[in-house]
Amino acid sequence: MCFNIPKKITAKEGNVFTVSDFGGAKETVRSLIDVDIDDYVLIENGVIIEKFDKNKINEFFEGGEKTL
Q: Which domain holds residue 62?
A: 7-67
Q: Is residue 48 part of a domain?
A: yes
Examine residue 53 and state whether it is found in any structural domain, yes or no: yes
Residue 1: is its pLDDT beyond 90? no
The answer as to whether 46 is a domain residue is yes
What is the domain count for the chain?
1
Within-domain flag for 1: no
* Residue 7 confidence class, pLDDT cut points 50, 70, 90: very high
Residue 22 has pLDDT above 60, yes or no: yes
Find the mean pLDDT for residues 57-67.
Answer: 65
Asked if 39 contacts 9 with a C-beta cutoff of 8 angstroms, the reply is: yes
Residue 34 lies inside a defined structural domain of this protein: yes
Q: Among candidates 5, 55, 59, 12, which has minimal Cα distance to 31?
A: 12
Domain membership of residue 41 (yes or no) is yes
Give me the mean pLDDT over the 10-37 stretch. 94
Q: Tell me the CATH number at 12.
A: 2.30.30.140
